[in-house]
Amino acid sequence: MIQTKSEVLQGTLDLMVLKTLAAMGPLHGYGIARRIEQLSEDVLRLNQGTIYASLVRLLQKGWISAAWGASENNRKAKFYSITRAGRKQLNAETENWKRISAVIGRVLQLAERM
């Protein structure tokens, strides 16, 4: 169960947030966290502090934008959207992740010496 940033592999949460926004459109922080948890089949549990720290980082970098709106239960909520710069970063990070995970996969396939 992931509860703090230190337990999430560096950079992966930001990548997952960007991808979620690119795929689903504007969402509030709670909705982003729940969607990532659903996709992980509840392997990941994101607490409020973890997701909002990621959102602040992404806002500061200009990779997402925020606007106030009404949530499903008619409460005021901040909705986040991916920006053009965020889409460019998502593409770059996706390619990097594919390369790195392929390397890790090859290393894990090494036969062990008996």
Condensed to tens digits (0 to 9), the pLDDT of residues 14-59 reads 999 999 999 999 999 999 999 999 998 878 888 888 899 999 999 9
Instruction: For 48-103, write each residue's pLDDT tens digit.
Output: 888 999 999 999 999 999 999 988 888 899 999 999 999 999 999 999 999 999 99
DSSP designation for 5:
G
Q: Would 55 be classed as within a structural domain?
A: yes
Domain CATH for 55 = 1.10.10.10
- Can you tell me the distance from the alpha carbon of 7 to that of 85, in angstroms, rounded to the nearest whole number? 27
Query: 47 by DSSP, 3-state: which?
Result: coil
Total tally of structural domains belonging to the chain: 1
Q: Would 92 be classed as within a structural domain?
A: yes
Q: List, edge to edge, every strand of the sheet that includes 76-82.
A: 27-28, 76-82, 64-70
Q: Which domain holds residue 23?
A: 5-108
- Can you tell me the distance from the alpha carbon of 56 to that of 108, in angstroms, rounded to the nearest whole number? 35
Q: Would 113 be classed as within a structural domain?
A: no
